[in-house]
Amino acid sequence: MFRPIRQKKSDVGKTSSFRKGRRSARQLVFENLECRELLSVTAPLMSDLWLAGTCFVPSDNKPATVTQSDRFLALTTSRRGSSAVRAPSAPSFTAKAVSGSQINLSWNTVSGATGYLVDEWVRGAWTQIASVGSGSTGCSVTGLTAGTTYYFDVAAYNSAGASWANYQGATTIAKLTPPAAPSFTAKAVSGSQINLSWNTVSGATGYLVDERINGAWTQIASVGSGSTSYSVTGLSAGTTYYFILGASNAAGTTWANSMSATTASGASGVDHPAAAASYTLVSGSLFGAGGPSYLDVHQGDVGDCWLMASLAEVAARDPADIQGMFTAAGTTVENGSTVSLYKVRLYNSSGVAGYFTVDTELPGGGGYYDQATHGVLWAALAEKAYAEANGTDWVTTSYKGSDSYNALNGGDPSWALQAITGKSANDFSINPTNIAAAWKAGQLIVLGSSPNANDNLIVGDSQGTHAYAVVNYAASSSTPFEVYNPWGVSSVVGSTVTFNGRQVYGGPFYANAALISQDFAYQFIGMGAEAGTTDLGSTNAHSLAAVNAVLAGQTCDEGGGALDPAGYQTQENHLVDFPAGRPSGESLRSSAMVSKDAGITNHLYGKADGDWSLAGSVDPWGGGWLTEAKTSI
């Protein structure tokens, strides 16, 4: 079998195929040309050619120089018109290092090839390391040394000879070493939590956290390469804990020196979420003289407007729901002071209630986060409970699992509305008509400002947006919406404060539909209800004639709020009213018209004698009333 003359290692970058060199006036040298290819050369040309190279002579299978007699033999065969088999074309191939000890070779199949040869450049010479069949398109070279460059060549061959590709080189991956040990700190932030923090380490693909438990190191966490902290919760008050942190990759783990921290002492062991200010006792009452009010909400030094606006909204529309969140749990001694304890109810995303104990110690004495103005504590305690609940993954934030006030920075009001009421909440694009409909239906409404809200005294720009509570609606007013900024700087309607060099509303203010459309981007609708009503309950009352008028496409206002058919569905989801009990005559209670776009959960009722009854419904009260419940998208 013909073996071509190929480039040596010193020839890297030169062309290896079909070089010509002048030996004498009538002598051309052909390299990389197999013996049997002479059969295709014409007789007149053969008389002027000498072959240079080596081929395997069948008699002894050793390299030999092609002679003049070989030239005449080839010439004679050519003149007889023999149809010789031609060698296949050279394949194209790649060499790719996949580890510190392996390089994979891949090539295309070549027509006419009965197999492939693989050579490696070893100690200054090409050495065959593999011979594979015609169906092969690659092979793996293993047992190599890390960080070393290797050269390979691949040939396609058949009975006529072999054709070699240009050789390829690849360098094995350098030996992987374990990352350096991280440096970390352990800091107790409450009687039940210790926060671990560390620097990132080059080459680490993750970090392992171990705790010393019963005399042995036990892994309690494994986090990704981007993590720089971990919170250990559920600890006992006044107890010292030991931790160790390791940076790891495929080569191994390097451990830092162990660190210890002691949780806060105190008989209660009540959780204190991590905060930017020290906890001190705050005196006051849970609620003011008139019960929960949206004016009790005063957002502090963290971006949790989504939570605080939601608390203000529920206080404005359903204060009984706020009162139901809190259960007095007595008192205890904390750091030498007597503190009051409350259990705060918050719902998870499945609507299951959980209860979280908080005390009346607050960061900065109640002046850092929600500011307990006038000694009213419920909003600040609800904020604290939400941070605590987030540390157990009970509620939703952008930083689930973190028992800290910072975890409340930036969020979605629908998360908070659901957690406060246990009822679903959804996000929608801004639409003042649907906001009015949701208000009439007893829904909870929080607005999200637009990043382009750079006028009309609304907070919102390219740096961030802000959440507001809708606390009243008066349909007959030119500015029907009363909106509350949870900053709560002032209780005076329309008062302003300076923000980013311009004036903005700092508390309650009035707005019309044009301002709502221009400076707000989203509305968050919660399914909460006023106390003593259904999910859709409002106190508006309309006669059967008014309802039928709306279904006929007419606007009707009987003093309880205008019913405008333009904003409602009158096909599948008709306007109907929920009676407080068995209806008497045509008197109806609780307007429950369904907006086309607000996505309100609605209950549909109708009268058996026609007008707006629903076939197949059930009569829960007797006397001809039908009912059916649907949920719109």
Lowest mean pLDDT among 25-34, 117-126, 400-409: 25-34
Q: Which residues of 215-247 are buried (b: 16+ CB within 10 A; e: fewer)?
A: eebeeebeeebeeeebbbbebebebebebbbbb
What is the arithmetic mean of pLDDT over 315-339? 88
User: Would you state the structure tokens that stand for residue 583, as one six-digit string?
Assistant: 């209806």
Q: What are the backbone angles phi and psi of residue 362, rounded to the nearest 5°?
A: -130, 150
- 28: pLDDT strictly greater than 50: no
User: Would you state the structure tokens that stand for residue 354, as one six-digit string?
Assistant: 């959980």
The residue with greater pLDDT, 266 or 446, is: 446
What is the arithmetic mean of pLDDT over 566-578? 34
- 185: pLDDT strictly greater than 70: yes
| Per-residue confidence band for 235, with pLDDT thresholds at 50, 70 and 90 | confident
d(CA 163, CA 34): 9
**Residue (of 153, 176, 154) closest to 99 by Cα position:** 176
The residue with greater pLDDT, 582 or 445, is: 445
Percent with pLDDT over 70 in the chain: 69
Pair 8, 16: CB distance under 8 Å:
no
CA distances from 341 to 101, 279, 333, 337 (A): 64, 15, 10, 12
Residue 344: HSE in the Cβ half-sphere, 13 Å Cα cutoff? 30
- 12: pLDDT strictly greater than 50: no
Three-state SS at 464: strand
Q: What is the DSSP string of 384-445?
A: HHHHHHHTTT-S--TTTT--BSGGGSS--HHHHHHHHHSS-EEEEE--HHHHHHHHHTT-EE
List, in order, residues 6 or more apart from 134 with CB less than 8 Å away: 109, 113, 114, 115, 116
The correct answer on CATH 3.40.50.720 for the domain covering 93-171 is no
Q: Which residues of 460-471 are buried (b: 16+ CB within 10 A; e: fewer)?
A: bbeeebbbbbbb
Crossing angle of helices 378-390 and 413-421, rounded to 10°: 100
d(CA 542, CA 562): 10
| Per-residue confidence band for 180, with pLDDT thresholds at 50, 70 and 90 | very high
d(CA 83, CA 114): 19
Give 345-399 pLDDT, tens digit per residue. Answer: 999 998 888 888 899 999 998 889 998 878 899 999 999 999 999 998 899 999 9
d(CA 497, CA 490): 9
What is the arithmetic mean of pLDDT over 411-430? 93
184-262: CATH topology is Immunoglobulin-like (2.60.40)
What pLDDT sits at residue 99?
A: 87
What pLDDT sits at residue 193?
A: 87
Pair 423, 319: CB distance under 8 Å:
no
Give 456-486 pLDDT, tens digit per residue. Answer: 799 988 778 999 999 999 999 999 999 999 9
Pair 150, 223: CB distance under 8 Å:
no
Q: What are the backbone angles phi and psi of residue 575, rounded to the nearest 5°?
A: -70, 125
| Average pLDDT over the chain, rounded to an integer | 74
Give 271-300 pLDDT, tens digit per residue. Answer: 889 999 999 999 999 999 999 999 999 999
Three-state SS at 4: coil
Pair 570, 550: CB distance under 8 Å:
yes
Three-state SS at 251: coil
Domain limits of the chain? 9-79, 93-171, 184-262, 272-532, 538-633
- 61: pLDDT strictly greater than 70: no
One fold for both 93-171 and 184-262?
Answer: yes
Pair 172, 99: CB distance under 8 Å:
yes
Pair 84, 122: CB distance under 8 Å:
no
Q: What is the DSSP string of 187-224?
A: EE-SSS-EEEEE---TT-SEEEEEEEETTEEEEEEEEE
What pLDDT sits at residue 584?
A: 33
Pair 37, 55: CB distance under 8 Å:
no
Lowest mean pLDDT among 32-46, 93-107, 120-134, 328-342: 32-46
Give 251-261 pLDDT, tens digit per residue. Answer: 899 999 999 99
What pLDDT sits at residue 456?
A: 74
By residue count, the chain amounts to 633
What pLDDT sits at residue 202?
A: 92
**Residue (of 220, 212, 223) closest to 259 by Cα position:** 212
Give 585-631 pLDDT, tens digit per residue. Answer: 322 222 333 322 333 333 333 333 333 333 233 333 233 322 322 22
For the beta carbon of residue 448, count every other beta carbon within 10 angstroms: 22
**Residue (of 274, 285, 265) closest to 340 by Cα position:** 285
For the beta carbon of residue 633, count every other beta carbon within 10 angstroms: 5
Pair 178, 254: CB distance under 8 Å:
yes
